[in-house]
Structure 1
Amino acid sequence: MRKKIIAGNWKMNKTVADAVELANNVKLELADCKEVDVVLCPPFTALKSVSDVVSETLINVGSQNMSSEEDGAYTGEISHGMLKELFVRYVILGHSERREYYKENDFWVNKKVIKALEKNLRPILCVGEKLEDRENGNTEKVVEVQVREGLKDVPASAYTELVIAYEPVWAIGTGKVATSAQAQEVHAFIRGIVKDMVGAEAADAVRIQYGGSMKAANAPELLSQPDIDGGLIGGAALDATSFAAIVKAAL
């Protein structure tokens, strides 16, 4: 049985003081949650402070990005070593906003995934189609390329350590959400791709999250689907009560 994972992507929100307050509120609700893996992904500036808040709990800390390089002249980047020093466990890679606004392509996303796994960090690989892709019937084509290229050269043994987040771009921050049937269909398709790439055992083990406007109201139905193993939460993660309700829906 795959353990559900709910990760809160705070994006470019929260000062350090705000992040500490939010983390403390989440801690009050979920500090002892054993049945679901809970991950908080604050901005880089708040990683240490949030790590300190949850250090004696079961809550994990994640980063919103990571360089594929060890160190060097890469202005504005952050390395795996810097993240591990702050007790970061997960890294979000290939988020649609990184792909769209900063032109990250599958080649670079794959390099980051490989580096994260090499350094014992758990990548959350984001994949998903834009609205025009879905309307033109290209959802599967787009998603398959992103999965195959993003996970290129990743061995079957590593699939227990990574997470795939299916995030239909048209549903992120728009209030729109894929129906549970639509989401399940793509999640099952992704699992089938993994099976074709590295075998049934890895496909059965890999966790696949849904990442498109999941909220407390729709979380129970989405999380009840057989191939949806959690959520990558955006806006709802900025409120501790809403985020906790989503986590509890995964129990």
Structure 2
Amino acid sequence: MKKKVIIANWKMNHDFYETTSYLRNLLKIIYENKIHHKKKIIIAPSFPFLHISNQILQGTTLSIAAQNIHQMENGSYTGEVSASMLRSIGIKKVILGHSERRKYFTETNDILIKKIKISLKYGFHIIFCIGETGIDRKKEEHFFTVKKQLEKTIFHFSLEKINSFIIAYEPIWAIGTGNTASPEVVQLMHQYIRSLFLNKYGETVSNDLSILYGGSINDMNARDLFLQKDIDGGLVGNSSLQMKNFLKIIQS
């Protein structure tokens, strides 16, 4: 059976002490209560703490992801972090295409293609985010928007590369707003996304692909979301910052 995937995206939160104590306490509770089985748990802390976080989780079933990667191999890009830098400290997963990166850092589909290419070159597994705005949904263009996002990015890559991807559907109107989409609405979109991969890459890829939901997941709604057929887990933002809430989501 395919494992559920739960990703904590801490964004620009938690300092050194908060990061390290959270991870050590999380590990202790998860292993004492044996709640790590049949789940893939991934933590995405801030850049300064990736190395120590990876060391803390070394040899466990939990893993670390970077929140971003630069599209160039190296060069005069002050403040940026390259794929080779991340691999040199043992990081093998990265989140790309998050709506906040698209909005605040003007990441276009062309930039994201470059980021995907460099990530694949260095052997990263990619958590790739897609999703529509509130305006798209009001205009009933949400399916069209998501389809175009895939066609202009991931669908440029061959069948052999697709097993390096996890898809995270995050309707922009629901991120950090508390306006979680209903389980039925999310399931409908996830089913549609899976059908696009079926048409493009075939049944095996479609069945094996993990499609996560991200958009104000919390300990109250996670269970109903995860019970849906095509929802394979969650990309959790604010609700992952407090460990007790994140544990409830994992257990749900």
TM-score by length of 1: 0.95
Conserved? CA contact 1:127–1:143, under 8 Å: yes
Partner of 1:6: 6
Q: Supply the distance in 2 between the matched residues of 1:231 and 1:139 (Cα, whole angstroms).
A: 20
Partner of 1:158: 161
Which whole-Å deviations, capped at 9, do the CAs of 1:119-163 have from their partners, x for residues lacking one?
Answer: 211111100011111111110111111112120332223322210
> How does 1:1-251 map onto structure 2 within 5 Å?
1-31=1-31, 33-249=36-252
Number of residues paired by the alignment? Answer: 249
Among the aligned pairs, what percent are the same residue?
A: 33
Bigger drift between 75-84 and 178-187 goes to 75-84
Bigger drift between 167-176 and 200-209 goes to 200-209
Q: Supply the distance in 2 between the matched residues of 1:172 and 1:86 (Cα, whole angstroms).
A: 30
Bigger drift between 149-158 and 90-99 goes to 149-158
Q: Supply the distance in 1 between the matched residues of 2:44 and 2:190 (Cα, whole angstroms).
A: 23
Shift of 1:118: 2.4
Conserved? CA contact 1:110–1:152, under 8 Å: no
Q: Supply the distance in 1 between the matched residues of 2:240 and 2:209 (Cα, whole angstroms).
A: 23
Q: Supply the distance in 2 between the matched residues of 1:152 and 1:107 (Cα, whole angstroms).
A: 13
Q: Supply the distance in 1 between the matched residues of 2:41 and 2:88 (Cα, whole angstroms).
A: 20
Where 2:29 maps in the other structure, the secondary structure is helix
Q: Supply the distance in 1 between the matched residues of 2:77 and 2:147 (Cα, whole angstroms).
A: 30
* C-alpha RMSD of matched pairs (Å): 1.3
Where 1:19 maps in the other structure, the secondary structure is helix
Conserved? CA contact 1:157–1:202, under 8 Å: no
Where 2:126 maps in the other structure, the secondary structure is strand
Q: Supply the distance in 2 between the matched residues of 1:53 and 1:240 (Cα, whole angstroms).
A: 16
Bigger drift between 71-80 and 129-138 goes to 71-80
Q: Supply the distance in 2 between the matched residues of 1:23 and 1:138 (Cα, whole angstroms).
A: 40
Where 2:155 maps in the other structure, the secondary structure is coil
Unpaired runs of at least 5, structure 1: none
Q: Supply the distance in 1 between the matched residues of 2:4 and 2:86 (Cα, whole angstroms).
A: 24
Runs of 4+ in 1 over 3 A off after TM superposition: none
Shift of 1:192: 1.0
Conserved? CA contact 1:126–1:164, under 8 Å: yes
Conserved? CA contact 1:113–1:125, under 8 Å: no
Q: Supply the distance in 1 between the matched residues of 2:160 and 2:227 (Cα, whole angstroms).
A: 27
